[in-house]
Amino acid sequence: MSKTHNKSGVHAVTVDRNRTGQRLDNFLLNQLKGVPKSAIYRMIRTGQVRINGKRCKAASRLDAGDQVRIPPAHTRQAGEAFISESVSEQVEEAILHEDADFLVINKPSGMAVHSGSGLPWGLIDVLRNKRPGEYLELVHRLDRETSGCLVLARNGSALNWLATQFREGKVEKRYLCLLNGRMPEPVIEVDAPLKKIQGERQGVVEVCADGKPALSRFRLLQAYRDASYVEVELFTGRTHQIRAHAKHLGMALAGDGRYADKESVRTWKKRGLKRVFLHAHRLGFTMPTGISHVFDAPLPLNLRKILDEQET
C-alpha cells in the first residue's frame, strides 16, 4: 500500500507499484474514503493536488514512485455506509468471470460504479465490503443508468495492463441501444470529436471541431416504426460517446434524459422505459499471457420487453 500521513494536513503519498497506471481520481477516491467526489475533483481542478510538484488532471496516470500531494480533506460522514445483504447478493450474482487478475461483472442499471454526488456507496464499495483486504480497482467506468460488462482489476499489474489496453483502443467494446428514429443505412460510422460543455450543462458533451477524437460504428439490428435497435462498437472511449454521437445523428437514445428532448423521454416513459436504453453487452481483451477473453452480458429483461412491444 502507499504510505500516507495524517489527513488533517497537507501530506504526500508515494505511489507503489500496485498503483502503476491508475487514474489520479480513482487513486484519490481510495485514499480519501468518505470525502465527496465533487470535493476531490475540485482539489484537482484548483491545483491543490500535485504529482511530483506539478499540476495534474483527474485522468492523469500514476507511475510507481510518484509523489502525490494531497491537501486537507473533510469526510462526508462518520462510519461506513450501510450496504444491505440483498444488494450484496445482487452484485455477487452479477459476476460473469473472476480469476486472480480481474473480475467482470454485469453491472445493474441504476447502480453507480463508485460513491459520490450524494451516493454513500457504489458497486466497487459493495465488492470491497464482501472481500475485505483484497485488491479491487475499477479499470473503466459505466454511467449509473447503463448496464452491462464492467471489468475490475485484482492486482496492480492487471490494472496497469488493462488500463493501457483501454487507453490504446485495444479492447473490443460493443453496446446495445435503441435510437429515436429509423437509421437510413444499415451501418453508419461516426467520426466526430467530442468536447465537454462548461457552465450550466456541465457533464454533457457535444460534437466540436476542437474536441477529442471519437469514433463509433452503429450497426442496425432491427428497424421499428419509429425506432432502431442498434449495436454500437466503440473505437475510442470518450465520456457519453454513444449518447453524444447518437444525438449528432439526430436520433438520441430512447429514454436519455440528458441528450434526448423532454417530449421524447415522456413518450418512452409512457411505453414503460424508465431508463436510458443503453447496455454494454460485449467486452473483449487479451492479457499478457496471450490469452484472449470475450464476455457477453444478455440484454436485461426490462429492455427486452420494450423491444417486444415495438411496432415494425
Where in the sequence numbering do the catalytic residues fall?
A: 143
Q: Where do the H-state alpha helices sit in the chain?
A: 24-31, 37-45, 85-93, 123-130, 156-167, 241-248, 262-270, 301-308
What are the residues whose beta carbons fall under 8 Å from the beta carbon of 6, sequence distance 6 or more? none
Closest of 157, 143, 161 to residue 253, by C-alpha: 143
Residue 13 sits at φ, ψ, to 5 deg, of -125, 130
Q: How far is CA 233 from CA 174, 237, 242, in A?
A: 4, 10, 9
Q: How far apart are CA 212 and CA 79, in angstroms?
A: 40
Task: Report residue 21 as a C-alpha cell.
Answer: 497506471
CA 296 vs. chain centroid, Å, equals 17
For the CA atoms of the chain, what is the radius of gyration? 20
